Every structure is written in C-alpha cells, then in structure tokens.
Amino acid sequence: MFEFSIAAQSGRARTGLFTTPHGVVQTPLFMPVGTQGSVKGISPRELKEIGSQIVLGNTYHLLLRPGPERVRALGGLHRFAAYDGPWLTDSGGFQVMSLGDLRKISEQGVTFRSHLNGDLIELTPEYSIQVQEALGADIIMAFDECPPYPATPAYLKASIERTLRWLERSLKAKTRPDQALFAIAQGGVDLKLRRCSAEATVAFDTPGLAIGGLAVGEPKEGMYPAVELSTRLLPEAKPRYLMGVGHPEDLVASVALGVDMFDCVYPTRTGRFGYALVPEGRLNLKLSRHLDDPRPIEPGCDCYACTHYSRAYLSHLVRAEEMLAPRMISLHNLRYLHRLMEAARAAIQSSDYGEFARDFAGRRFGHKIPAWFTRALQEGGHWD
C-alpha cells in the first residue's frame, strides 16, 4: 500500500516514487497547505492543473471546525474537500509552539485554549491519531512538540525525550492500515541533540520520517548543518520530509542534501500580500512601476495568471483590493514552486543537479551567493 523507491540520484539529491492509497507521487515535491481543508483561494481542480501532488491539512484547526467526526461522516478529506489525491495531516505539534500563549504542556499532552471561542481542548498523542484517522489522510504525523527558537539545551533535551514517548503512544494508538504514520525528529539547531533524536526516532521504523523544529526563526547558518546531519542519519530507503519549509532557495539547498518532501504557507501567504515569486526573488506588485507593465509575472510560466494577465492588471487588482489578485498571485506562486521541483527532478534524472542548483543561485543571488547555500551544495556533492 505504501512503497518508496528511488529512481535516480545526483550527489545526495534523489528523485523517487512514493505510492499511497490515492496515487503515486514523484519526489522531491512541495505540498500546498490547506490548513482548514482548503488551500486559500485555490480550488481542487486548479491544484491539480498546476501540478500539486499532495495537499496538507491541519489537525488542530480541523478539530476545532468542522470537527473530525463530521469530516468522517462526509467521506473524509478526500470527498469532503473534493480533492481525491493524497492528503497529509500534521499532528497539531506545530501549534504547541505557534500557540504558546494559549497552551499548556504536560506529559499527558497539550491543553489548548481555542483561539475561536476560548474552549479548553486537550490534544494527546492518542487523540491526535484518532482525529487524523477520522480525517482519513494518506499520511499522518506522530504527535510531537515543536520547540521554539531559541531554546536551552535542557529544554530541547526534555522536549526530545517527551516527543519520543509521544511517538510510542502515537504508534500504539494507530489502527488504520491504509494510513502511513511518519515520525518526527527534533533537536533544534543543537547538532548533538539532533543526532540523538534522529537515531532514536529511526529505531521506530516508521514508513517515512520528518525533520521538525526548523524554519522557526533560526538563522540559515544554524538550520543547514541540522538538515545536513538529519539527512545523513535518516534511512536512504524512506521518504524524508522537511516540515514548514517553502522558500525557493531552501527547497533547492535541501533537495541537494537529500530531502524529498516540503510544505509551507509561504507561497499563498506571500501571494495574499501582493508578492509574486520569480527566479530573481519576489516581485512586489503593490509598486506603482508595475501599473504600465504589459509583461506577465514570469515570462515563460505556464500558469493561468501568467498566460492570461499582465503585471499591470494584477497590480491594479492588488491596489483595488480585488479578490482575484491574491487568488491569481497565489496560483502562480504555487505553480512556481511545482515547476522548480519538476526542474529539480529532471536535473537529478540527468545527473546534473549541481548545474541546476548553481544556475538557480546565479539568478536568485547574483554574485552574492550566501555561504550557507554554497555549503549545502558542497555537502550534497554539487559544488566543487
């Protein structure tokens, strides 16, 4: 039911096929985030048209509304949200960090005060799995604690040990054979603790493994040694998922190190603020200089926004606060990341990922390529 096979490698970068009950996906891939069962402003048909392969749903938010049993009764996320491809649901562990003012952690689990109405909700490893089984995603995540940055070594150590105990409870609570449970390794940017967490997590032999607790405010110089170490320690024969990462340069650097899966709200959140992703960085469509520009967002892009609208029109929509603007810019941003991953897969298959990554860096950074990016490519075997 679940199978991962590596099709080609270029240095440490690899492309593969991951079989799920709702389809086979090609890695490396980016997963759009549908926090409440919907990728903001984008329909399921559009998601498929732009090349989305898996959509991510949020356990905490779907627990609050519409509720897991309602989703189960209406056919699970695949039918309820009218997206019949693979789904992944997180465990609620990220909200342990992001809702720090509204929660209390104990050995049993986490007590949240709902941001909607103030109700108290206790999310335990067992309940997180129960909710995810009701939602019906193909891939579910073990309940974990995502520690903040910065955090003391003592806090990180306690958090890692608690997350491992929660992983054991998550696995015991799981009942559905048609769902793959991924474990999550933590440790922040402390490489010693990151190693301890990864080695202990691998021992549970889950179908896939995630790298958690990064992209939470730490500098890139601290993030990438942690990614590099993690991909060396996680099994070659299983998919590796770097959670919460979606900046284009991060995807290219992390694929170089052997990461297979990514998710982030960045492309759609950025789109809602009027920023479009282009090879050189971000295009701020709020600026008046775009009001007379007849070019598309990105010449050569095949998304609906780029094949139908000019920068001038989209800039006008942004200024007029028309709802079509965030929809179209978000659509383009997602397509940009999917095209980036498609190009990465092609480069890996041709054994020239290094050339692809260096070309990306030249367009993105010019002559000022950050040391962390160069180091990531060197560690991945893509930079002499």
Catalytic residues: 90, 263
Residue (of 343, 355, 363) closest to 30 by Cα position = 343
Give the full edge-to-edge strand order of the sheet including 33-34: 29-31, 261-263, 240-242, 208-211, 180-185, 139-141, 87-89, 55-57, 33-34
Instruction: State the DSSP string of 268-319.
Output: HHHHHTTEEEETTEEEETTSGGGTT--S-SSTT--SHHHHH--HHHHHHHHH
From residue 217, alpha-carbon distances to 31, 72, 97, 143, 223 in Å are 21, 36, 12, 21, 9
Q: What's the rounded Cα separation, in Å, for the pair 181 and 133?
A: 10
Contact 213, 187 (CB under 8 A): yes
Cis amide linkage into residue 370, ω under 30° from 0: no
Sign of the dihedral through C-alpha 93, 96, 99, 102: positive
Phi, psi of 194 (to 5 degrees): -60, -40
Contact 64, 114 (CB under 8 A): yes
Residue (of 144, 134, 11) closest to 77 by Cα position = 134
Contact 26, 15 (CB under 8 A): yes
Contact 87, 77 (CB under 8 A): yes
> Judging by DSSP bridges, how do beta strands 23-27 and 110-113 pair with one another?
unpaired
Question: Which residues are CB-contacts of 152 (< 8 A; sequence separation ≥ 6)?
Answer: none
Contact 8, 349 (CB under 8 A): yes
Query: Residue for token digits 């282009």?
Result: 278
